[in-house]
Amino acid sequence: MPACTSCRGEVQERFRFCPWCGAAQRMKVVELFAGHPLLEKDPEKALRVSCYLGEDEESRHVRFSVWGGGGTPRAEAAVSLSEEEAERLARFLAETARLADQQATS
């Protein structure tokens, strides 16, 4: 069983906080992106991107979740990318934006 990152007490992997000292067991940064207002049929759809900032390679990853409305927001689909794939995605988006800017100014 894993140990708490703070007090070293035993903590089940599913726990987000240590039951002994209350310390957070996972660090993450989250951003929510709204769907395209002209293309999405469901205006409540969104993309949630969570960057997990763990100490080891296994815990560091980027998770994408598609959230839908319909009353109670919920995740409809999700996928996790390794740091390498997330960096490749960032390069792809940056290059695509650069090409779109070049095309717009031509």
CATH of domain 28-105: 3.10.450
HEC letters along the chain: CCECCCCCCECCCCCCECCCCCCECCCEEEEEEECCCCCCCCCCCEEEEEEECCCCCCCCEEEEEEEECCCCCEEEEEEEECHHHHHHHHHHHHHHHHHHHHHHHC
| Residue range 33-43: mean pLDDT, rounded | 86
pLDDT-based confidence at residue 13 (cuts at 50, 70, 90)? confident
What confidence score (pLDDT) does residue 24 get?
86
Instruction: State pLDDT tens for residues 45-96.
Output: 899 999 998 777 777 899 999 998 777 788 999 999 999 999 999 999 999 9
Nearest to 50 by CA among 69, 75, 73: 75
